[in-house]
Every structure is written in C-alpha cells, then in structure tokens.
Structure 1
Amino acid sequence: MASISLQTSLTNNKAEIKVGDEIPVFDFKEDSAGETKPLNLTGKNIIVGLPGAYTTPCNEHVPGYVENFDKFKAKGVENIYIISVNDAFVTKSWKKHLGGDNLHFVADDTGHITSSLGFLFDASGALGSPRSKRYVLVTEGHKVLSIAVEDEVPKVTVTSADSVLAKL
C-alpha cells in the first residue's frame, strides 16, 4: 500500500507546466551519477521528455533530434535536452548508442525534474516505476514558448523532431 501511495503522490503533486510559465532552475545529472549541475537555460531550447531510454518508441523518437540538430540550430535553437526517468549510467550509454553527442541527455533518476514539470505518471505496469509522459517544451531562456504532449505515451506524433521543426 505504501508504494501505491508514494506513486500517487509523485504523479499528482503538480499541474502540468503551461505556456508562459518559467521552468525552475534544477540540478541535473548528465554524464556522471555523482555530479550534478544547474540547468540555466539561455536562448532558445528544446526539452524532450521521454518515458525511458532504450524503449522501442524512444529509440525511434530521439534519432530525429540527433539527425536534425543542424536544422534546429539554423532555427536558433541553442540546446536540445533529452530527459528520461533513468539513471546517468543508462542515459550516458544511450547517448553513445544513438550518436547524440550534440544533445544533452539528462538523467532524471528520481523523477524530480519530470514531477516538477507535472509530467510524471504511474508506468509501473509496463516500466516498473513512475515515468515521464512524452512531451516537448520549446523555451526562450526559462520561459515556456510552446508545449506538445502525446495523448498516448507510446505514440510519436506531435513531439517528433519534424513536427517541432515545422512549428519553429
């Protein structure tokens, strides 16, 4: 009963972030499980939230951002952040596997980042723990300019790289 209560509190603690809201500055892990750094956004950024590294839909989703990195840069995007509820060992390996050297793969190992944005949901039936909804935020600094969230987590439609590029 305690784990259900914990998952409920994790998934229902905050409303989803909205256009015009400010993303909080949070500490994140990228290349090391023991090292955190603050997310201080400047310029235009893309933040892609995903349920889990190495899952089939996510393995099909992220390559569009890797392959189109130069097109995003040409549209003024400074950074692309891929956030998944996984540990830094997994996200670092996934980044290498996908050839995502130009992107930031963020390890949200506790789900704190995803929860603070209001995108954490109970995925214990399929993935064993709370995970992230599939979403994309476009920001100018910390201010949210646009949001796309998939109606069904396994689908990649409004959050695909091509869809996001078309709206920039």
Structure 2
Amino acid sequence: MSIQTGDKIPAVTLKVMGEKGPQDISSEEIFSGKKVVLFAVPGAFTPGCTLTHLPGYVVNADKMKAKGVDTIACLSVNDAFVMDAWGKSQNAEELMMLADGNCELTEALGLVLDGSGFGLGKRSQRYAMIVDNGTISHLAVEPAGAVDVSAADKILALL
C-alpha cells in the first residue's frame, strides 16, 4: 500500500554529499517545520529523468521558492556520489540531491518500481509530492513511462 495525501513522511535516514563525502540526513531534518517539494526519479542519468524531469525543477526552483517552498529535493535509489555528480552535471545547485541507496524511504512510501527486467533492480517510481511540516499535502505518482503529473510546472501550479 503506498502512502497517501494526509500521511506523514516515515522516519528514515538518507544520504547527501557533504564536503567530506556522503553524510546522513534524517527525514525529520529534511521535512520538519518546512514546506518541501520532493520529486523522485527511477534513476540518475537516465533519459527521461535527465532530459525532462530534473530540468523542469532546476528552471522553476526560484519560482517555487518564491511561493514559500523551503526545499526542493530530488530523490533516487542511487548512491550519494551518483546523485552529487548528476546534480552538478545538471546545474541543480538549488536542489537537495537525496540518495536512497538502500531503497529505505522508497519502500516505506510503498513506491518501489521493480526494474529487474531491465537490470536495474529496485528503483523508485516517478512521483512528486508537496510536504508541509512532514505531512503530505499533494501526491502525484506517474504511470509507467510518463512525466506529466509530477512535472515541475504541474507542481508549481499547485503551490
């Protein structure tokens, strides 16, 4: 069963790249007392994620922050090294690049994508959510292969 609007974000530890390498960051630290736009992709450097999904958030980051968003976070079931390199390659300095390398948050949300048929193992479904102080106020999960309801312009219109 996947998470729904009105539910709280589960308590897990993710990774971000720090000055000295990968660092732990708790979901509480990311979401508590903040308005956060979290979007997830099946994989860093993959075509739909790199050409369509991530760029929309990079381009619209200032507009989202002007509407009261404290943090825009991109999550993938990749490691912190990959997420950091992908963020740098896409000029995503305004975004928090979250590594869910062990698929812990993705599994807790019930939003796992089985990519084993493509040699990808467990991945995240493509989605976006607006989270207010740890509670999901909007959730948009994409059908397989689509980048529509979770696109930055759709989320921006809801803020």
**TM-score (ref. length: structure 1):** 0.87
Instruction: Kindly state the Cα deviation for residue 128 of structure 1 after the two structures are TM-superposed.
Output: 2.1
Instruction: Kindly state the Cα deviation for residue 113 of structure 1 after the two structures are TM-superposed.
Output: 1.0
Pairwise CA RMSD: 1.2
Q: How does 1:1-168 map to 2 (within 5 A)?
A: 15-31=1-17, 34-39=22-27, 40=29, 41=31, 42-59=33-50, 60-152=52-144, 154-168=145-159
CA distance in 1, matches of 2:130, 2:22: 28
CA distance in 2, matches of 1:31, 1:100: 13
Deviation sequence 1:74-97 (CA, Å, 0-9, x none): 111110110001111110100100
- % identical aligned pairs: 38
CA distance in 2, matches of 1:34, 1:143: 27
Instruction: Determine helix, strand or coil for the equivalent of 1:17.
Output: coil
Asked whether the 8 Å contact 2:42–2:113 carries over to 1, the reply is: no
Alpha carbons of 1:101 and 1:34: their partners in 2 closer, same or farther (altered >3 Å)? closer
- Structure 1 ranges of 4+ moved more than 3 A: none
Structure 1, unmatched stretches of 5+, are 1-14
Deviation sequence 1:55-82 (CA, Å, 0-9, x none): 0000021011011111001111110110
Deviation sequence 1:10-53 (CA, Å, 0-9, x none): xxxxx111111100232110105642121221221101011000
Higher strand fraction (1 or 2): 2
CA distance in 2, matches of 1:37, 1:102: 17
Query: Larger C-alpha radius of gyration, 1 or 2?
Result: 1
Say how many residue pairs are matched.
153
